[in-house]
A and B are shown apart, each in its own frame.
Chain A
C-alpha cells in the first residue's frame, strides 16, 4: 500500500522504512520556530537542567507578535530573548522589523520540501505550502526540542483535497480556503494531515498555496501540505544552498477522506463572527457598516495581496470613517511594495501603512477595537475578543473583498465595484 505525503516525510525524518497512521514516532525537526513567546520558552528551557541547546542552527526565533514593543513589559520580553540568542549562539534570529515568522522563515530558505518544521505557533501549518510537514506545538514542547532536538509525534491520518479549474477574476485562494472550512467545519480535519493537490493547485502560485496551508489550521488540521512541484523549486532558488529533494505522495496512498473543489465555482466569501466556519457569500452580507479594515497577517500580507488591494483602491479614496491598516508581512515585501509604489498609492487612498509584523491580529496593539466596532480582516481568526475587545465583531475576507469594503464602508463583494 502506498503512502501519503505526511507518512513519507515523517518516515524519512524518523529514519524508518515506513510509518502508518496512529504510530508514535520520535521526530527530529529540521527547524523549530518560535517568536515573542521565546521569552516564556527560554524560561521553560532553564528549568530542564541543561546548559546548552541541542542544535543552535535548527532553532529559528523571529520577533513579530508585538513589534516594536508596545509596553515596557513586552520590551523586557524581547530583551530577554536577545540575551538568550546571544548566549546560546542561535543562528537564525530575526529581530523587530524582519516580518512575520511564517513569511520570514521561507524567505530565508529555511523551509524545504520533505522536511519537518515544528513551531510554537498554531499557523506553523503555513510551511506546508513548500511540501514540508509543518505543525504547531506548545511552549513546553518547544523548550524540550531546544534541549533534546526531539519530540514525539503521532502519525496523522490524511485527507486529500483535489483542486480543479482556475479562479475567476476577483476570487482568490482566501475565498477557496474559507469555502473549504465552511464545507468541512472548524473541526473538520482535527488531527489530520490535509494534502492539497490537483491541476488547480499546480497553477496556483506559492503565496496562494501559503494561504491554503495557513488556513488548514482553522480546519483543525495538524498539517496542510501542498504537493510540491517545480514552482517550489523556482521560489526557493537563490534562497538556499542546500540540495532540494521533492518528496511526493504515492499514487496508491490511502486517504481517510477525499474532497474535490472546483476553483471556477468559488465566489468571494466572508466568515462572519465568531467562528471561521461561519462562511457566507460576501454578496449576502447585508448592510454591515465597517469601522476598520485590516490587510496583512501571515494569511494575506504578501505582495500579491497588497497588489490585489491596490487593484481596487488605485486612484480612489476609502470611505469616510473607515480606518484602513496595511501590514506588509515582511521587510522583503515592504521594500518591494515601496519600490513599485504600491505603499504610496495605498496611502494616497487613505491607508495607514504599518511596519511588518502581526499587527492587531492577536489583539495586543496597533489597531485593537472598541466595543460595538466592526473590522473586516484578511487574517485567519474571527473569535470573540481576538482583536482585543470581546464586544467587537470581526469578519474575515480576501484582500479584494477587504479593499472593496474599505472603499464603500460596508461589506462589499469586489465584483460590485
Chain B
C-alpha cells in the first residue's frame, strides 16, 4: 500500500469537537456526508482543498476528546489517507485503524514540513519521503495491515467471521 499526496499541517491537541462537531454526532450520515464536515471548526478550507491521498501532519495528542468514530471516518471520507502526529489520543488512534485510515506516530516530521509539500508513504516498508528527506516508522503488524487493507474493522471482522463459518 502506497500513499501519495500533499500535506496539511496542524498543531497540538487537535480535539474531536473541532474535527467533527458534537452537534452532528447523532445525525445519521453516510461517510461522504461526514467528509463534508471534516475539520469544520479547525480549518474550514480543509474540505475545499483536500484531495485523494493527502496526509495530515500534526503535533501531540491528535484526536483527543470524544470517542466519536466519525472524527476518523470524516477525515478519511474527505480523501485523506494518513495522519502523522507526534502522539495520538488512544481512542482516536484505534478509530483511525478501525476505519482504514493509517495513523503514524513520529516526532520529527512536523518540524521539517510545510503545508502543501508532497509526501509519499510506503506502508509495507515503513518509509516516508518528503522531497529529499526520508523518515522511517515501524510497519503495521499483520493484523493491523489486514484491517487497513480490508478498509476497516467491520469489513475485516465480516471476512473473518465468514471464513470461520
A residues lining the B interface (CB < 8 Å): 36-37, 39-40, 44, 47-50, 65-66, 73-74, 76-77, 120-122, 124, 136-141, 143-144, 147-148, 152, 186-187, 190-191, 220, 222, 275, 362-364, 368, 381, 383-386, 388, 390
Contact = CB atoms under 8 A, between A and B. Distances in A.
Nearest to B89: A220
Contacts of A76: 28
B18 A383 contact: yes
A37 B28 CA distance: 10
Contacts of B41: 384-385, 390
Interface in B149-164: 152-155, 157-158, 161-162
Consensus secondary structure, chain A interface = loop
25 contacts: A36-B26, A47-B154, A47-B158, A48-B157, A50-B161, A65-B25, A66-B26, A73-B28, A76-B28, A77-B26, A137-B67, A138-B67, A138-B95, A143-B154, A186-B64, A190-B89, A362-B22, A362-B25, A363-B23, A364-B26, A368-B23, A381-B15, A381-B65, A381-B66, A383-B18
Given A122-B91, A190-B61, A190-B90, A48 B161 contact: yes
B28 to A, nearest CB: 7
- Chain B CB count within 10 A is highest, among A66, A137, A148, A222, for A137
The 5 A-B pairs with the shortest beta carbon distances in the complex, nearest first, are A187-B61, A383-B17, A362-B22, A138-B95, A363-B22
A140 B157 CA distance: 10
Contacts of A390: 18, 21, 41
Interface string B127-165: 000000000000000010000000011110110011000
Contacts, number: 131
Contacts of A191: 90
Contacts of B67: 120-122, 124, 136-139
A386 B26 CA distance: 14
Interface in B81-96: 87-91, 94-95
B112 interface: no
Nearest to A40: B28
Contact count band on B:
35 or more
Contacts of B88: 190
A49 B162 contact: yes
Given A48-B154, A137-B91, A383-B65, 14 more contacts: A50-B161, A73-B28, A77-B28, A139-B69, A140-B99, A144-B154, A148-B157, A148-B161, A187-B61, A190-B61, A190-B88, A364-B25, A364-B26, A385-B17
Interface of B: 12-13, 15-18, 21-23, 25-28, 41, 60-61, 64-69, 72, 87-91, 94-95, 98-99, 143, 152-155, 157-158, 161-162
A148 B21 CA distance: 31
Contacts of B69: 40, 138-140
A191 B18 CA distance: 22
B63 to A, nearest CB: 10
B13 A186 contact: yes
Contacts of B64: 186-187, 220
- Chain A CB count within 10 A is highest, among B12, B16, B60, B61, for B61
- Chain A CB count within 10 A is highest, among B16, B22, B25, for B22
A65 B26 contact: yes
Nearest to B72: A138
Contacts of A368: 23
Contact of B61 (A37, A139, A186): A186
A148 B157 CA distance: 9
Contacts of A136: 67, 91
B87 A74 contact: no
Given A122-B67, A186-B64, A383 B28 contact: no
A121 B90 CA distance: 13
Given A144-B157, A383-B15, A187 B26 contact: no
Contacts of B18: 383-385, 390
B29 to A, nearest CB: 9
B158 to A, nearest CB: 5
A147 B16 CA distance: 27
Nearest to B12: A187
A380 to B, nearest CB: 10
A395 to B, nearest CB: 16
A299 to B, nearest CB: 14
A381 B22 CA distance: 12
B23 to A, nearest CB: 5
